[in-house]
Amino acid sequence: MINKKYTLGIVGVRGYVGRELLGLLANHSNIHVDWLSSRQLEGTGLVQLLKSDENFKFDVLSKEHYFHQIKIEKISAEKIAKRKTDIVILALPNGLAAPFVDAIEKNNNCQLIIDLSADYRFDSSWLYSLPELINSDKLNQYQKNKLIKISNPGCYATAMQIALAPLIGKTQGRVNCFGMSGFSGAGTKPSPNNDPSNLKNNILPYALLEHLHEKEVSYQLGLPISFSPHIVEFFRGITMTIQVEFEQKWQLEDVRNLFKDFYQECSAIKIIHSIPNIQQVVYSSDCIVGGFTLSNDGKRLTFVSCLDNLLKGAASQALQNIELALNC
C-alpha cells in the first residue's frame, strides 16, 4: 500500500519553531513542503535560512534536494486559503492566527490546520492535542470533520502535563511547578527576556501569577496549578521541578512504576531514576521525567520533567499531531 503524500505550508517561518519544524520535514517521506510565508523574510531562500543560525542543527542538504528551490514568500491569508494546501501550520505570535483560520475555513481547501500559538487552546471547536495524552475517541470525532483543527500545546504546559497526567486523582491541594526555559522561549522579537546582556550570569523570573501556561494546564488537567516561570541564559530547553501532595502514603517504587506503566507505549517519554537535566534533551524530541523524591511520611513528592522547548515543546509535537491526524 502506497502512503498518501501531503503538501504543507508554514505561515511564520521567521520564528524559531517554524525553522525547527522545517528541519524535521526535510526528509519526511509523506509530506512535501509546498510554500513558506513571512513578511520579514520575503525572497530569502529556504536553505539560506536554515544555515543562517548557529543555534540550529540541520543535516547538510544535497544540491538536488527540493528545499533549494523554495523561496520564502509574503502571502496573504486569502491567497493561502486558495492554494489547496493539505496542511497549513500557523507559527505566528499569539493573537495573529484568526485571519488565516477564517480565510481557510471559508474556502474549504485544506485538510488540517495546526496552530502553534495559544489562540485556540481554550476553544472546544479545536482539538487540543498532546499526542501521548489524547483520547482516541475524541481524536476520531475530530477526524470526521472535513477540516481538522489542532491546537498545539505550549512548551511549559507540555512539560507540566506529561509530568502530572499519571497523578490525576491521586493528589490533593495545589500543585507547585517551578520552570526554567532557555531564552528561545521568549521568541525572536527583542525584549529584556532575550537580551544577551540582560541574561548574562542571570535568571529572570516573570509572569509569576496566572501565566498563560498555568491556566492551560489547570484547564486541561482539571488540577489547580501554581507555576513560576524563569528565563535563563542558555538558548533551548526546559527544566520543570514539580511538587505534589498525596492523599495517601506512597512508596517510591510504586510512584516509579505508576509512571512507567502510564507511558509504556510512548516512545518519546522516558522515565528515569536520576534527576534529568537540560543536556539530556536538547536537540531531542523526548521528554524525560525522573528524580522522584518522597518525603519521610510518603505524602509529598518532588520530581523533574525536562524537554527541548523547540522540539517536544513545539515543532516535533506538531509533527506528531500531523501524523496522528492524517495517519501519515
Calculate helix-pair angle for 315-326, 136-143, nearest 10 degrees: 70
| CB neighbour list of residue 165: distance below 8 Å, 6 or more residues apart | 132, 133, 221, 262
- Would you say residue 84 has pLDDT above 70? yes
17 shares a domain with 117 = yes
- Which has the higher per-residue pLDDT, 222 or 108? 222
Phi, psi of 88 (to 5 degrees): -120, 125
- pLDDT tens-place string over residues 128-177: 999 999 988 999 999 999 999 999 999 999 999 999 999 999 999 999 99
296 within some domain: yes
218 within some domain: yes
pLDDT above 90: percentage of residues in the chain? 82
| CB neighbour list of residue 139: distance below 8 Å, 6 or more residues apart | 127, 129, 324, 325
Mean pLDDT of the region 217-227: 96
Mean pLDDT of the region 302-313: 98
Specify whether 155 is catalytic. Answer: yes
- Which pLDDT score, from 0 to 100, does residue 173 have? 95
- Which pLDDT score, from 0 to 100, does residue 127 have? 97
161 shares a domain with 140 = no
197 shares a domain with 162 = yes
- Which pLDDT score, from 0 to 100, does residue 188 have? 83
Mean pLDDT of the region 196-213: 91
Of the given ranges (46-60, 105-119, 248-262, 278-292), which has the lowest mean pLDDT?
46-60
- In the structure, what pLDDT confidence band is assigned to residue 99 with cuts at 50, 70 and 90? very high
**191-197 — which CB contacts under 8 Å span 24+ positions?**
193/231, 194/231, 196/233
1 within some domain: no
- Which pLDDT score, from 0 to 100, does residue 59 have? 67
Range of the domain at 118: 6-153+314-326
27 within some domain: yes
131 within some domain: yes
Number of domains in the chain: 2
192 shares a domain with 123 = no
20 shares a domain with 148 = yes
129 shares a domain with 54 = yes
Mean pLDDT rounded to a whole number for the chain: 93
Mean pLDDT of the region 179-204: 91
CATH for 167: 3.30.360.10
- In the structure, what pLDDT confidence band is assigned to residue 234 with cuts at 50, 70 and 90? very high
- In the structure, what pLDDT confidence band is assigned to residue 216 with cuts at 50, 70 and 90? very high
Taking Cα atoms as reference points, which of 304, 305, 157 lies closest to residue 225? 157
Mean pLDDT of the region 274-281: 98
192 within some domain: yes
Mean pLDDT of the region 255-282: 97
185 shares a domain with 142 = no
| CB neighbour list of residue 63: distance below 8 Å, 6 or more residues apart | none
CATH for 31: 3.40.50.720
299 shares a domain with 163 = yes
- Would you say residue 327 has pLDDT above 50? yes
* Catalytic residue (choose from 110, 155, 177, 306): 155
- Which has the higher per-residue pLDDT, 57 or 48? 48
126 shares a domain with 75 = yes
- Which pLDDT score, from 0 to 100, does residue 60 have? 61
- In the structure, what pLDDT confidence band is assigned to residue 1 with cuts at 50, 70 and 90? very low
Of the given ranges (57-66, 74-83, 132-141, 232-241), which has the lowest mean pLDDT?
57-66
- Which pLDDT score, from 0 to 100, does residue 189 have? 84
Spell 126-135 as b/e; 16+ CB within 10 A means b.
bbbbbbbbbe
31 within some domain: yes
Mean pLDDT of the region 48-57: 77
- Which pLDDT score, from 0 to 100, does residue 109 have? 85
Mean pLDDT of the region 254-265: 98
Secondary-structure percent of the chain, ordered helix, strand, coil, rounded to 5: 30, 25, 45
Mean pLDDT of the region 288-313: 98
- In the structure, what pLDDT confidence band is assigned to residue 61 with cuts at 50, 70 and 90? confident
195 shares a domain with 230 = yes
112 within some domain: yes
164 shares a domain with 149 = no
197 shares a domain with 86 = no
